[in-house]
């Protein structure tokens, strides 16, 4: 296992992190016993960072992870999130970064995880109706109270990072980053590097597309968040785009075979090649998957291989340039939807 610092902080994390979104049950069928075995195997392989959130299965992911870690919790870097509340009756969620909500949701996470502190607490999504300064004050107070050792954000733009850093020592920004999605690399990575903020890359396998296991007959059950064909504003799985993207995947698989490796290892190595990235979050359902993903650290990609990958990715379909979510903007009291360019009247449901 390789280990890296989270940005300019002294928090050391494994380069491959264990993403626990799947444990929530909204990512297709999952065998909980197998998933717990995967967590155990990850620990044995030296994986130290485990990332979850209250919104992953309305708290279920945190509960499963807490039970699985048990006494080994002190051996790992435990990451969770706050500032997304949900209605248990309608199963709808909204971004809420008010001071009281940030603290309340963090306390609830601690109870579900069975621990008295987090190693890193993130604001899950920006809340355009709450000033960034208020949200950062909640995070710094949680540090002062011993509820979390480090603080960060998720899905924050360059401007939001710059403003937040003025009020709190944030050390991480967790965003989607993979071969099919380089939006944040262009929009935010330079600012993160300048500010000493480490990037936590979620979805490095493009939410299943880069596992190589999907085919033209792939469908998603209604409970699976990918069923709409949209992944964070990109229609990668839409019927008109999936065949093109599967062809791209086949070309990447051929390249991986030529390099005597596998597609998941190639995809993870590509994500980790960027110096802004502190950790790639690997969602795993079985011990074999985490064993496979950790082997990505054995692979170094040459300039020539990277150029080949860029040429292959030119055939991808369904991509957009705008980052997902609603965001604070300079000189604007309320944020703008970066997809439509309009002032929203309600918050969309995002994973």
Instruction: Give me the pLDDT at residue 350, please.
Output: 40
Q: Please report how the helices 303-313 and 242-258 are oriented relative to each other, as an axis angle in degrees rounded to 10.
A: 160
Q: Is residue 344 a contact partner of residue 337, using CB atoms and an 8 Å limit?
A: yes
CA dist 17 and 51 (Å) reads 7
pLDDT at residue 175 tops 70: yes
Residue 231 has what DSSP assignment? B
Instruction: Give me the pLDDT at residue 333, please.
Output: 61
CA dist 125 and 153 (Å) reads 8
Instruction: Give me the pLDDT at residue 22, please.
Output: 82
Is residue 336 very low, low, confident or very high in pLDDT (cuts 50, 70, 90)? very low
**How many CB atoms are located within 10 Å of the residue 65 CB?**
27
Mean pLDDT of 159-179: 98
| CATH code matching the domain that covers 3-218+262-302, chosen among 3.30.565.10, 3.30.70.2660, 3.20.20.100, 3.90.550.10 | 3.20.20.100
* More confidently predicted of 263 and 25: 263
pLDDT at residue 346 tops 70: no
Show the tokens assigned to 112: 């579900």
Instruction: Give me the pLDDT at residue 285, please.
Output: 87
Mean pLDDT of 337-345: 40
Mean pLDDT of 241-258: 97
3-state secondary structure 178-218: ECCECHHHHHCHHHHHHHCCEEEEECCCHHHHHHCCCCCCC
Is residue 228 very low, low, confident or very high in pLDDT (cuts 50, 70, 90)? confident
Question: Per mean pLDDT, which range of 25-34, 74-83, 151-160 is the poorest?
Answer: 25-34
Tell me the per-residue pLDDT of 267-324, one tens digit each, with 9 for 90 and over. Answer: 999 999 999 999 999 988 899 999 999 999 999 999 999 999 999 999 999 999 999 9
Average per-residue pLDDT for the chain: 91
Region of 307 (left: φ > 0; alpha: ψ -120 to 50; beta: rest) is: alpha
Instruction: Give me the pLDDT at residue 342, please.
Output: 42
pLDDT at residue 229 tops 90: no
For the chain, what are the domain ranges? 3-218+262-302
**H-type alpha helices, the chain:** 32-44, 60-69, 99-113, 132-144, 158-165, 183-187, 189-195, 242-258, 263-272, 287-294, 303-313
Tell me the per-residue pLDDT of 21-34, one tens digit each, with 9 for 90 and over. Answer: 888 766 566 788 98
What is the DSSP pairing of strand 49-51 with strand 77-82?
parallel
Instruction: Give me the pLDDT at residue 334, please.
Output: 58
Distances (CA, A) of 150 to 60, 146, 249, 250: 23, 10, 37, 41
CA dist 47 and 20 (Å) reads 13
Tell me the per-residue pLDDT of 186-201, one tens digit each, with 9 for 90 and over. Answer: 999 999 999 999 999 9
pLDDT at residue 222 tops 80: no
pLDDT at residue 57 tops 70: yes
pLDDT at residue 82 tops 90: yes
Show the tokens assigned to 293: 């993903």
Taking alpha carbons only, the member of 161, 158, 155 closest to residue 175 is 155
pLDDT at residue 38 tops 90: yes
Active site amino acids = 56
CA dist 261 and 14 (Å) reads 21
Instruction: Give me the pLDDT at residue 224, please.
Output: 77
Report percent pLDDT > 90 for the chain: 78
Instruction: Give me the pLDDT at residue 337, please.
Output: 43
Q: Is residue 22 a contact partner of residue 286, using CB atoms and an 8 Å limit?
A: no
Mean pLDDT of 163-181: 98
Instruction: Give me the pLDDT at residue 48, please.
Output: 98
pLDDT at residue 344 tops 70: no
Q: Is residue 120 a contact partner of residue 11, using CB atoms and an 8 Å limit?
A: yes
Contacts of 213 (CB under 8 A, 6+ apart): none
pLDDT at residue 351 tops 90: no
Q: Is residue 138 a contact partner of residue 102, using CB atoms and an 8 Å limit?
A: yes
Instruction: Give me the pLDDT at residue 349, please.
Output: 36
């Amino acid at each position: 296992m390789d280990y890296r610092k989270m940005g300019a902080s002294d928090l050391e994390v494994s380069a491959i992190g264990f993403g626990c979104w799947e444990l929530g049950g909204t990512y297709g069928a999952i065998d909980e016993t197998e998933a717990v075995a995967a967590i155990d195997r990850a620990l044995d392989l030296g994986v130290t960072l485990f990332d979850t959130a209250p919104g992953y299965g309305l708290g279920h992911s945190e509960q499963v992870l807490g039970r699985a870690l048990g006494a080994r919790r002190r051996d790992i870097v435990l990451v969770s999130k706050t500032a997304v509340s949900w209605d248990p009756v309608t199963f709808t969620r909204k971004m809420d970064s008010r001071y009281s909500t940030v603290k309340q949701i963090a306390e609830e996470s601690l109870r579900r995880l069975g621990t008295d502190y987090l190693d890193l607490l993130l604001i899950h999504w920006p809340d355009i109706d709450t000033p960034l300064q208020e949200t950062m004050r909640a995070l710094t107070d949680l540090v002062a109270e011993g509820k979390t050792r480090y603080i960060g954000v998720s899905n924050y733009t360059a401007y939001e990072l710059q403003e937040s850093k003025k009020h709190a020592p944030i050390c991480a920004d967790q965003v989607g980053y993979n071969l099919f999605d380089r939006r944040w690399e262009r929009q935010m990575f330079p600012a993160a590097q300048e500010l000493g903020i480490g990037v936590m890359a979620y979805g490095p396998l493009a939410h299943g597309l880069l596992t190589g296991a999907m085919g033209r007959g792939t469908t998603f059950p209604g409970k699976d968040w990918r069923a709409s064909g949209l992944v964070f504003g990109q229609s990668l799985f839409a019927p008109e785009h999936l065949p093109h993207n599967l062809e791209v995947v086949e070309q990447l698989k051929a390249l991986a075979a030529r390099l005597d490796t596998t597609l998941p290892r190639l995809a993870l190595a590509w994500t980790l090649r960027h110096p802004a990235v502190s950790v790639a979050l690997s969602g795993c359902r079985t011990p074999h998957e985490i064993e496979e993903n950790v082997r990505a650290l054995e692979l170094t990609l040459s300039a020539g291989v990277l150029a080949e990958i860029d040429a292959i990715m030119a055939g991808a379909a369904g991509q957009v340039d705008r980052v997902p979510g609603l965001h604070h903007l300079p000189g604007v009291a309320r944020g703008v939807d970066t997809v439509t360019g309009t002032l929203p009247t309600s918050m969309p449901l995002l994973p």
